[in-house]
Structures are given as structure tokens and as C-alpha cells.
Amino acid sequence: MGMVDSPNERRGSKRSARQRKRLGFKLDMTPMVDVAFLLLTFFMLTTTFAKSNTMEINIPPETGEVAVAELNVMTLRVPGDGFAYWSLGEAAPRRVPLYDSADAHASLGSELRQVLRQETGKNRKMVIVVRISDKAKYKALVDIIDEFNLMKIDRFSLDEFTPEDEAATQRAVAMR
């Protein structure tokens, strides 16, 4: 049992002989400890923890290839220069701004959203191949995938950004 005892002795000098003796007292700490643990368990059991915000991505099996017609493939290249370059099949890529403004919290560009909406509206079998450069920010990839989820686009693929993609984006810049 948790008890606090007070000493029953005098303190100080002997010159005050007429001082009264202090009476000892006992304080039982058990109920206070019980209440503390009850409160602790109550708050631990009733607290909700922050749930992680995850996105489910289905990955195809590594064996076997999926054949898709060239007209059903849209390639979206993100080299990290603030623009996205999109093309259908083997056509020359077209340049659109990735974001509406230079603000760090800006949403994906309205022109890019319009292109995605139009092209997937025309062709429901459209597969979008996203090729993002090492120079691009991770936020750009997350924003693109978030936009796909908002538009209910579930047919997309992530691929490597190759030197051919770099050359294609350079040609699109030069044509402008």
C-alpha cells in the first residue's frame, strides 16, 4: 500500500522549548494511483489515432505483356521544367503547363486537366503512360495520380523517362 508518513520528530534548535510537538499523519496514495491509471487507460482506449492516407495502386504481374493498340496509348512526359508533354501514339508531344501558377500549393494545370478529360472521354480504352524524369519533383507524380483518381482514370502506367523522351521534349520546345 502506498503511504506517506510524516516524521514525528522536532526540527530546529532547542531554544524554543515550548513548541508543540507535531502530530504525525498518514496519507494513503492508493486511491489516487488507481484514479490516475483509470484515466490513463480511459484516454488510451478512447483516443483515435490518425489514419495513414494511402493510395491503392494495382501492379500487373511481371510475367507476360499486355498488348495495347497504339491509338489507345497516351504518353504523358514530365521532365521537371514545369511543363508536361503529352502525345497520342507516335505523334509529336504537345507542351502544356503542369501547374496553373508558380505557387507551391497550386493545383494541376487546368489545360492539362482539360486534355486528360477530353482524351479519356473520346476513348474509354485509353491507357496513359506517365514518364517522369529524375529531375521532376515527387509532388508532380503524386498530383498527377491524384488527378487520375479524381477523374476516375484507372488505366495508367508508370514508366522510365528515357533519353528518347528527353529528345522528344526538346523537339517540342524547339517547335514552339
- The CATH number covering residue 123 comes to 3.30.420.270
Give the whole-angstrom CA distance, residue 127 versus residue 115. Answer: 14
Question: pLDDT of 25-43, one tens digit each?
Answer: 788 899 999 999 999 999 9
The answer to the question of residue 128 being in a domain is yes
The alpha helices in the chain, defined as continuous H runs, are 30-46, 110-122, 138-150, 163-175
User: Facing residues of 127 across strands?
Assistant: 73
Average pLDDT over residues 80-91: 87
The answer to the question of residue 136 being in a domain is yes
First to last CA, the chain: 85
Question: pLDDT of 111-146, one tens digit each?
Answer: 888 988 998 888 888 889 999 999 988 888 888 888
Total number of domains constituting the chain: 1
Q: What is the enclosing helix (H) or strand (E) of 127?
A: strand 127-132
The answer to the question of residue 96 being in a domain is yes
Q: Which domain holds residue 75?
A: 71-175
The answer to the question of residue 112 being in a domain is yes
